[in-house]
Chains A and B, each alone.
Chain A
Amino acid sequence: MTTTTVQSEKPGPAAHDKRNPVAAFFRQREIPVAAALVALVLITFAINPLFLSPQSVKDLLLNATIMIILAVGQALVIITRNVDLSIGSIVGLVAFGTGSLFNIAPGMPIPLVFLIGIVFGGLLGAVNGLLVTLAKVPALVITLGTMYIYRGILSTWAGSKQYFSGDNPKEFGNLSVDTFFGFPIITIMAVVVVVIVAIVLGLRRGGRDLYAIGSDPDAAKLFGIPTGRRVMAAFIACGALTGLAGILYASRYNSVGALTGSGLELDVVAAVVVGGVAIFGGSGTVVGAAIGAVLLSTITSSLTATRVDKFWQQAIVGVLILAAIVIDRVVSIRNTRKLRVSEARDV
């Protein structure tokens, strides 16, 4: 039953998988996004060969890293037909908290700082999850509220105090620049996160339940899925990943303060939607969301590298979002029709 619910979004490809793996591959939601990304990189490279110089590639990967982690967390929540708008504020709180930690205890081991940041983010996510599941208030409203509350707490806490990268231990700052066989370490971290979450979401029961909940919350409940607990878990996971992103933010940028991370939430939701995760929940993958994040952050860099007016950038992102939604609608309408035909045949 769980699987049927999930497949209702893309039954066509599933049915054809065995017969024609190539066609099935091209029908994946991630493919158009990935193709757009490759095209973007190649075109930019043709115009400005420096775009793929080692330093630029490193910059591209580093720019995308934080967005990838945020997009994975957000995708988890959106798949359950919820949304978390408070993540920008969580990034700010955790990033500023990281600065404060190093300020209080300069010798603190870095893994411990990571642990504290992730737990802190998870707690903030749990507040969202609790309000959404226990109080049964729509996530859009709840997280809009917590977005302002968290930001308010941060503004009070930070005031105009800022922590500069010079205040942090050198090793912490280096973390976001050091490479391992040419790949930045934090990008490898993000890829590991994507893989782990993709496996849980795709193969584990709890992960599949998230799709069932997003497809049809009532049916999921009737079927006996502990919807409250699953949604709660999605919010906590999103908060924890956002916490991780907050720590990386503190390591990457030169200062953290009251405004850190503001406005990030919409960029992240945009990345997730562009990556093929349906805003109504129930379909999409974290791999898609991650590619969407890379695509959006690469657009910024490639428009700068080709010296296109920066003011075009937002318009282009808007067009991409609309395109993603149109593709999503077309696919789901076609699938519904196919499903109806095949069911009629079965009878």
Chain B
Amino acid sequence: MELFQKFGGSGRRSNARRIASVAAIAATVALVATGCASGGSDTASTDSAGGDSPGSIVFLPKQLNNPYTDVVLGGGDTAAGEIGFEASTLGPLEASASAQVPFIEQATQEGANVIVIAANDPDAVGPSLQQARDAGAKIVAFDSDTNPDYRDVFVSQVVAKDVGLVQLEMIADQIGGAGDIAILSATATATNQNEWIKYIEDELASNPKYKDIKLVTTVYGDDDADKSFKEAQGLLQSYPDLKGIISPTTVGIAAAGKYLSTSDYKGKVALTGLGLPNEMREFVKDGTVTEFALWDPAQLGYVAAYAGQALLDGTITGAEGDTFTAGDLGEKEVGADGIIIVGPPTKFNAENIDDYDF
């Protein structure tokens, strides 16, 4: 309680001082308020959609200020520019399930024609997406799917199964086909990570090639650098026989890479997963990481924007077999469950990593 007391408050203060303190509070409030306002004005500017514009598109990534998201959105902006969409980006600063809901509502109120979303939780965003659809918006899920009931199509980087399997192949290669491995994932509810992990588990159980590999645990670093770093430490402490770590998230693999590269485990414990070449370059060059994979994230945003356009002008409805042209990337087909696949994953290693800049 006393924290609220004014410091050194004597009760017998001159009016001038009181005015000064009121002014200071007002100034603080004004500063905070303008900070918020300037953040909001970026998005508000999209309201003034021109008459000739084919419509407005809102990108709702899992989290803003995330380098991976940035590359994805870069591709989305390129495509939106080619199409002529009024593009804007809304999103929370932290990747949590409920944080996206107010931004979906905002997009609906602004009358967005297309909402492109990467869901932090497949169901939490459902009701607000339903409202957006009722208001006439087309919903394109990308990167991380929502429940299929709430979206028109899902643009997937690659076939989910391929992503899971490529990571398992890489780790099997790097640990010589036998030993304990662990997974360092993002949040426990992340749709895409959980799907890949499921494929990894299924493959481990069913494919005799992997019979000597044992998945001992899956831990969650919540896509937070500090937490992922400590989870990586914990893994090595709890499982002394650990041979390798798969981290199917860019934040996790970089944090684990940093930890391994500065510890005694460097070169003894293999690390692979999905990472950004720019973030992983150091660890590939110093020998901590042999090989990891990813798709080109820019293509994901690019195709998502074109899918939005195709939905809007009626070229596709999200039914299986529909086709549309995704700009420079050519024709894409809608598969079962309204899923559109961008392309195969790319593997990065010491030989090719310098060819990529994202």
Asked if A310 and B238 sit within 8 Å, CB to CB, the answer is no
Asked if A254 and B279 sit within 8 Å, CB to CB, the answer is yes
Contact of B238 among A155, A165, A304 (CB under 8 A): A304
Q: Pick the most buried of B9, B23, B35, B235: most chain A CB atoms within 10 A of its CB.
A: B35
Asked if B64 and A160 sit within 8 Å, CB to CB, the answer is yes
Chain B nearest Cβ from A153, distance in angstroms: 9
Does A4 touch B at the CB level, under 8 Å? no
Contact of B8 among A160, A221, A310 (CB under 8 A): A221
Q: Contacts A138-B6, A145-B28, A149-B35 given; indicate if A255 touches B234 (C-beta within 8 A).
A: no
- B281's nearest neighbour on chain A, judged by CB, is A166
- B221's nearest neighbour on chain A, judged by CB, is A310
Asked if A136 and B8 sit within 8 Å, CB to CB, the answer is yes
- Chain A proximity mask over B251-262: 1 for CB below 8 Å, otherwise 0: 000110110001
Q: Contacts A136-B6, A136-B17, A304-B231 given; indicate if A166 touches B24 (C-beta within 8 A).
A: no
Asked if A50 and B240 sit within 8 Å, CB to CB, the answer is yes
| B229 partner residues in chain A, CB cutoff 8 A | 253-254
Does B264 touch A at the CB level, under 8 Å? yes
Does B20 touch A at the CB level, under 8 Å? yes
- Chain A proximity mask over B200-243: 1 for CB below 8 Å, otherwise 0: 00000000000000000101100001100111011111101000
Q: Pick the most buried of B10, B69, B231, B238: most chain A CB atoms within 10 A of its CB.
A: B238
Asked if A160 and B237 sit within 8 Å, CB to CB, the answer is no
| A141 partner residues in chain B, CB cutoff 8 A | 25, 28
- The answer for the CA separation of A149 and B278 in the assembled complex, in Å, is 30
Q: Contacts A50-B240, A145-B28 given; indicate if A231 touches B7 (C-beta within 8 A).
A: yes
| B262 partner residues in chain A, CB cutoff 8 A | 173, 176-177
In the complex, which residues 238-260 of chain A have their Cβ closer than 8 Å to any Cβ of chain B? 253-255, 257-260
Asked if A253 and B255 sit within 8 Å, CB to CB, the answer is yes
Which of A11-19, A127-135, A195-203 is the contact stretch? A127-135
Contact of A132 among B2, B7, B39, B64 (CB under 8 A): B7
Does B282 touch A at the CB level, under 8 Å? yes
In the complex, which residues 50-68 of chain A have their Cβ closer than 8 Å to any Cβ of chain B? 50-51, 53-56, 59, 63
In the complex, which residues 132-168 of chain A have their Cβ closer than 8 Å to any Cβ of chain B? 132-142, 145, 148-149, 152, 155, 158-160, 162, 164-166
Q: 5 A-B contacts, Cβ less than 8 Å apart?
A: A136-B13, A218-B8, A255-B225, A301-B237, A304-B235
Asked if A254 and B7 sit within 8 Å, CB to CB, the answer is no
For chain B, the bracket of interface size reads 35 or more
Does B93 touch A at the CB level, under 8 Å? yes
Asked if A55 and B3 sit within 8 Å, CB to CB, the answer is no
| B283 partner residues in chain A, CB cutoff 8 A | 166
Interface, chain A (partner B; CB < 8 A): 48, 50-51, 53-56, 59, 63, 81-83, 131-142, 145, 148-149, 152, 155, 158-160, 162, 164-166, 173, 176-177, 217-218, 221, 227-228, 231, 253-255, 257-260, 262, 279-281, 300-301, 304-307, 310
Asked if A138 and B7 sit within 8 Å, CB to CB, the answer is yes
Does B31 touch A at the CB level, under 8 Å? yes
- The answer for the CA separation of A281 and B65 in the assembled complex, in Å, is 37
- The answer for the CA separation of A343 and B257 in the assembled complex, in Å, is 63
| B29 partner residues in chain A, CB cutoff 8 A | 145
Contact of B35 among A152, A160, A164, A305 (CB under 8 A): A152
- The answer for the CA separation of A137 and B21 in the assembled complex, in Å, is 6
- A162's nearest neighbour on chain B, judged by CB, is B67
Asked if A131 and B24 sit within 8 Å, CB to CB, the answer is yes
| A218 partner residues in chain B, CB cutoff 8 A | 8-10
- The answer for the CA separation of A221 and B7 in the assembled complex, in Å, is 11
- The answer for the CA separation of A145 and B25 in the assembled complex, in Å, is 9
Asked if A221 and B10 sit within 8 Å, CB to CB, the answer is yes
| A136 partner residues in chain B, CB cutoff 8 A | 6-9, 13, 17, 20-21, 24
- Chain A proximity mask over B67-104: 1 for CB below 8 Å, otherwise 0: 10110000000000000000000000110000000000
- The answer for the CA separation of A250 and B354 in the assembled complex, in Å, is 24
Does B48 touch A at the CB level, under 8 Å? no
Asked if B278 and A63 sit within 8 Å, CB to CB, the answer is no
Chain B nearest Cβ from A136, distance in angstroms: 5
- B71's nearest neighbour on chain A, judged by CB, is A160
Asked if B258 and A301 sit within 8 Å, CB to CB, the answer is no
Contact of B7 among A155, A217, A304 (CB under 8 A): A217
Asked if A59 and B35 sit within 8 Å, CB to CB, the answer is no
Asked if B8 and A159 sit within 8 Å, CB to CB, the answer is no
Asked if A307 and B28 sit within 8 Å, CB to CB, the answer is no
Q: Contacts A149-B35, A255-B225, A310-B220 given; indicate if A137 touches B28 (C-beta within 8 A).
A: yes
Q: Contacts A152-B35, A257-B65 given; indicate if A48 touches B238 (C-beta within 8 A).
A: yes
- The answer for the CA separation of A136 and B21 in the assembled complex, in Å, is 6
Asked if B254 and A254 sit within 8 Å, CB to CB, the answer is yes
| B281 partner residues in chain A, CB cutoff 8 A | 166
Does B336 touch A at the CB level, under 8 Å? no
| B17 partner residues in chain A, CB cutoff 8 A | 136
Asked if A135 and B20 sit within 8 Å, CB to CB, the answer is yes
Asked if A155 and B278 sit within 8 Å, CB to CB, the answer is no
Chain A nearest Cβ from B174, distance in angstroms: 20
- B66's nearest neighbour on chain A, judged by CB, is A160
Asked if B230 and A304 sit within 8 Å, CB to CB, the answer is yes
Asked if A253 and B220 sit within 8 Å, CB to CB, the answer is no
Asked if B24 and A254 sit within 8 Å, CB to CB, the answer is no
- The answer for the CA separation of A301 and B234 in the assembled complex, in Å, is 7
- The answer for the CA separation of A139 and B4 in the assembled complex, in Å, is 8
Contact of B69 among A145, A160, A165 (CB under 8 A): A160
| A253 partner residues in chain B, CB cutoff 8 A | 225-226, 229, 255, 258
Does B265 touch A at the CB level, under 8 Å? yes
Chain A nearest Cβ from B264, distance in angstroms: 5
Chain A nearest Cβ from B57, distance in angstroms: 19
Chain A nearest Cβ from B66, distance in angstroms: 7
| A166 partner residues in chain B, CB cutoff 8 A | 281-283, 285
- The answer for the CA separation of A155 and B257 in the assembled complex, in Å, is 26
Contact of A48 among B39, B66, B69, B237 (CB under 8 A): B237
- The answer for the CA separation of A52 and B345 in the assembled complex, in Å, is 41
- The answer for the CA separation of A281 and B5 in the assembled complex, in Å, is 12
Q: Contacts A140-B3, A164-B279 given; indicate if A254 touches B225 (C-beta within 8 A).
A: yes
Asked if A55 and B265 sit within 8 Å, CB to CB, the answer is yes
Asked if A55 and B263 sit within 8 Å, CB to CB, the answer is yes
Contact of A165 among B21, B258, B263 (CB under 8 A): B258
| A48 partner residues in chain B, CB cutoff 8 A | 237-238
